[in-house]
A and B are shown apart, each in its own frame.
Chain A
Amino acid sequence: MDAHRLPQMWRTRWQAWWDARTPRRDHQVLTQRNLYILPSKAGWGFGVVFLVLLLASINEQVNLGYALSFLLAGAAGAALYQTHGNLHGVQMRLGSVRSVHAGEAVQLPITLINGHRQRGRYGLQITAGHKAPEGTLTGPGSPRDAELPPGGETSVTLEVATAQRGWLNLPPLLIETRYPLGVFRAWAYWRPESRVLVWPALDLQAPTLPASGQSSDAGQHTHHIRRLDAQAVDLREYRRGDPLSAVAWRKSSVSMAAGGMPVSREWPQGKSTDLLLDFDHTPGLQGLDAEHRLSRLASWLLEAEQQASGQGPLYGLRLPGVTLEAGRGPQHLRHCLDQLATWQRTP
């Protein structure tokens, strides 16, 4: 058998066993089944101190030295149970997780619930994913400290780094404590069930939003942006919510002088005036690889939404195999970004 495959095989089996042992869920209760406890590094040091004290007591025949050593051992032994009890019964709940662009940190809001009415939980520490090096206080992988008063609850927000677009399985969360004496470390892993959709990274070098979604050489479609100062197609009565810039002031003054309502301009929707961002044809995307195109499209979508919330044109998105009609608003933007995040080139 291949020597390299054996560890790999075991690793896979271990992973499978581990995953079966810690099912993904958004609400976790720490019990005997998922809590682990071992002496901490300081605890091993404590053990050495105990042995030295005991040896000295034996050698010098100091009875109070025996008493001291055994008192230390007894207290450490009690701490084993207290440390375990400090996590036992703690409940953890994951709040709603918002999508972010790749490269940004996902914020995980976690609510910790004590569940014990007499005992507080102290010195808890929660980390998401790989632990950052000692002393890192912010950013992904930095631990968060928490305390729970008797019967109370508290919230912490963890950060998870993202690298690429697509669905991200949240990394296992580690909750640990060494309270009260620090000689034992009790910990539990929690794999949240929720996934988070990571949008493509923003392209910081993206040129400004093209005036037209269509490159000039792809001539069969004629999408143009209708400028505000271009001809106003329709005039209608002002309705609440029309942007001020859409009000045709001169016509309105005439209309109001006649005792009527102000008049607003109206542009026909979903027609040639809309901005259609096209994966294949929009100018500014040529010569880029697929991921880079998606990044640039993501940046443009944000820009387009910003314009559209003013008096900019509606925007749509076309990816090979998918076309989203023009629209605007956070829902629409989210829909577009989600498409970018999940799009796969079908062969």
Chain B
Amino acid sequence: MTHPDTPLASGLFPAGDRTNAPHRLSREGRDTLWLLAVMALIMAVHAPRLPWWANVGAVLAVGWRAQLAWHDGPMPRRWLLLVGLAASMGLTVITYHTLFGRDAGVTLVTLLACLKTLELRARRDAFVITSLGFFLILTQFLYSQSPLVALLMLMGFLGLMSSLVLAQRPLGRPSILGAVGVAGRSTLMGLPVMLALYLLFPRIGPLWSVPSDARKHMGLSDRIQLGQFESLATDDTVAMRLKFEGDAPPRAELYFRGPVLEVFDGHAWTARPTPPLTMNHADSEPLGLRALPAEALAATQLHYEATIEATHLAHVPLLEGTVSAIPAPPATEPHLFRTNLGWRVAGTLLERLQVRGTAMRRYVAGSTEEAPSARYALALPPGSNPRTRAWALAWRSEQHLNQADALTLTKAWLTYVREANYRYTLTGDTTTEGSMAQPIDRFWLERRAGFCEHFATSFVFIMRTWGIPSRVVTGFQGAELNPVDGLHVVRNSDAHAWAEVWQAGLGWIRVDPTAAVAPERIERPRSDPAARAGQAGALQQIDPALWSYLRNHVEAANHRWNVWVLQYSSARQMTLLKDLGIDSPSWIDLIRICAGLLTAAVLAGFGWLWWTRPKPVLSAWHPPMWRVHKALASLGLPAPAMPAPASALAWSAVIEQSPANTLDPSTKTRLQQALHELDAWRYGAQPLPTAQVTRQTRPVIQLLDALIRAERKRKARTPRY
């Protein structure tokens, strides 16, 4: 292996060169460093997603190549690259157990690009490495399509393009900034084509399904295991945005219903297996609203439109009490089904979804449902959390509640929790694994501090111990109004867990145990999300008003970005066509318009070529001299032997030598005078300034014209022999 620090390599670059003379980077070295910097920018965004060994490998490879470029050192041996390649593939398989998943693929492509840089010569390999760069940019968009990522990747794109430009200029040392400018020019010229294709290229569904990784997602979960739910509260990303028609309900009413967790195995709460869905499922499930007079029903209806981020679950977290939900027009897909009083789609919600919904306020749900089967709503695994179970039974006897119904028991429990010094905290339990074997015992009897999950699961556990059908519901609670665009924003940190108990005759009744302990969590907006997340909110502390102003504007822009850029779909294309005046648009119209615009672009290109063609630089004397030349030639005089238009003096000579009877003598003299005048103006001691040529020569030209006209008339009168 030839390492740059071996004596051989340092011999090639004497130490004196490095220390005394200022280092002059070679052209190739400079271009390579530039390309490496661009690639590093593109890959850096991936860094948090890659395993640590991949990051270390990437930094080593790119750093080594940069050092070689700096000193124009020799490239590493090929076998070393092969070893690197084998190691990358091996480690990828060990980490992901495959080479083909999304994460594994991205890791591998990143490493391949890094290894490729080690045999990179900026000019020769520009195409290979920039192609890899474009792929890497695309992989960024698989994870995030935020404006920031888009901006960074646009910079990366221009950088890659500028590398291509540099590769096409082998001579001299063209400036990098100039190359970026040229690349930017090409990109700008291509922008209309890009916009037209982006808007009008028919959007079709996935051509084939790729094995999608179960991505780590924040927010909604269809599984609760105590002690595993901690990262959520710190995740301030947006989960959904709502626009209410009319007044928004108070914050305490904003429960967004996600998965209902009924099955407890001693450690984790999960949803009960769903029966297969049919298209008319939504109609078949009883709505179970308590009958209200029709007018009252209308008065409590709440219409809203929600933009829900991908949940990676079947569940679509909509406002509780939502009785109808359809994809916001013009979209008609996907179909939404009602299940367990919540909503879901047939598959998995992998994309942002816009829903138009109608919800009932002050409803009591599920009253017409049959009593829940003991199999789910009452089941507790034997031997699970025995101390809590014992405590619950003892406490009920103590409180003389053995015969009480669900509502009475719920009220008694809530009172107990409020008075018994339970604390609400987001800090995770740092206890050892052993005591977590019975998580509810640990929380309810020992730690007595926790967050929504702890309270909700403990409540359901105790209720089931008492024989009351109950279940855990997860979802979001609360929303924040952004005054800039009037949208309510629900964040992943608003994720919440609550409970429901069954009361015969009333149905499922929502109980939020957390509200009993930390009512501010439910009723007031979170005052300090950043600080809660442990971030340094410096600006926020200095100027809270400015902070919220900026934040609101950024989020409004973000929403616009989502709607207009990221959610652009075939449905929106059709709307666009309708706006353009096509009554029943189809994808054939799209193709037609695409083709038309592309033709226009091609023609515009030709126009540009014509417009920017090199134009011969003509002197201001050119047009007047042409007039003289043509006029004199039309008299039948022989043109002087020189390129047309001939000079005034040359014409004067021709006239001088013309046979006596060709011209009238007085005309001849005056013609000569005019020509001499022109010549003096052009070549005399004080030539006319260029700007005055046209104006000054006009009278002389007119005189010449008149003379020539008269001469022609004279000739016409003169009989020919």
Contacts and interface: CB of A to CB of B under 8 A. Distances in A.
A67 B198 contact: yes
Interface string A160-192: 000000000000000001111110000000000
A70 B185 CA distance: 16
Contacts of B206: 58-61
A46 to B, nearest CB: 7
B194 A53 contact: no
A181 B186 CA distance: 9
A84 B609 CA distance: 8
Contacts of A42: 127
Interface residues of A, number: 53
Nearest to A53: B138
A88 B185 CA distance: 18
Interface string B284-324: 00000000000000000000000000000000000000000
Contacts of B131: 45-46, 49
Nearest to A179: B168
B380 interface: no
Given A64-B150, A75-B161, A82-B189, A181 B138 contact: no
Nearest to A56: B138
A6 B126 CA distance: 44
B198 A66 contact: yes
Contacts of B208: 59
Contacts of B210: 59-60
A66 B609 contact: no
Contact of A85 (B150, B172, B351, B612): B612
A63 B127 contact: no
Contacts of B197: 66, 70, 73-74
Contacts of B174: 122
Nearest to A71: B194
A158 B157 CA distance: 38
A65 interface: yes
Given A180-B165, A180-B182, A73 B193 contact: yes
B565 A63 contact: yes
B587 interface: no
A122 B169 contact: yes
Nearest to B209: A59
A123 interface: yes
Interface in B136-181: 137-138, 141-142, 145, 150, 153, 157, 161, 164-165, 167-172, 174
B145 A62 contact: yes
Contacts of A181: 161, 164-165, 168, 183, 186
Contact of A63 (B161, B171, B193, B566): B566
Nearest to A119: B612
B566 A64 contact: yes
Nearest to B351: A61
Contacts of A60: 142, 206, 210
A66 B205 CA distance: 13
Contacts of A178: 168
A45 B129 CA distance: 12
Contacts of A290: none
Given A180-B168, A180-B182, A78 B609 contact: no
B198 A180 contact: no
Contact of B141 (A58, A62, A145, A146): A62
Given A66-B201, A74-B193, A81-B609, A180 B186 contact: yes
Given A77-B190, A181-B165, A182-B167, A58 B609 contact: no
Contacts of B614: 88-89, 114-117
A122 B203 CA distance: 39
B190 A71 contact: yes
A62 B207 CA distance: 13
A326 interface: no
B208 to A, nearest CB: 7
Contacts of A79: 186
B467 interface: no
Contact of B138 (A45, A62, A77, A182): A62
B137 A68 contact: yes
A85 B609 contact: yes
B190 A62 contact: no
A86 to B, nearest CB: 10
Given A68-B137, A82-B186, A145-B170, A55 B198 contact: no
Contact of B565 (A56, A64, A73): A64
Most A CB within 10 A of own CB, among B170, B205, B565: B170
Contact of B145 (A52, A63, A71, A115): A63
A107 interface: no
Contacts of A73: 190, 193-194, 197
A126 interface: no
Contacts of B392: none
B613 interface: yes
A276 to B, nearest CB: 46
A180 B141 contact: no
A45 B189 contact: no
A72 interface: yes
B187 A180 contact: no
Contacts of A49: 131, 134-135
Contacts of A72: 134
B204 interface: yes
A56 B136 CA distance: 12
Contacts of A179: 165, 168-169
A81 B608 contact: yes
A68 B351 contact: no
A115 B189 CA distance: 23
A68 B608 CA distance: 24
Interface in B554-572: 565-568
A182 to B, nearest CB: 5
Nearest to A83: B168
Nearest to B568: A63
A57 interface: yes
B603 to A, nearest CB: 11
B618 interface: no
A64 B609 contact: no
Given A55-B207, A180-B186, A182-B126, A74 B170 contact: no
Interface in B91-126: 126
B191 A74 contact: yes
Most A CB within 10 A of own CB, among B141, B174, B191, B210: B141
Contacts of B182: 180
A80 interface: yes
A76 interface: yes
B60 to A, nearest CB: 27
Contacts of B612: 85, 116, 119
Contact of A180 (B171, B183, B193, B617): B183
Given A114-B614, A180-B182, 16 more contacts: A58-B203, A64-B145, A77-B605, A78-B189, A79-B186, A81-B606, A82-B186, A84-B609, A85-B608, A88-B609, A88-B613, A88-B614, A117-B614, A179-B165, A180-B186, A181-B168
A-B complex: 9 closest residue pairs judged by Cβ atoms: A74-B190, A89-B614, A78-B189, A74-B193, A115-B614, A74-B194, A75-B190, A70-B197, A70-B194
15 contacts: A45-B127, A46-B127, A52-B135, A59-B208, A64-B565, A64-B566, A71-B157, A74-B192, A74-B197, A116-B612, A116-B614, A147-B172, A177-B168, A179-B165, A181-B164
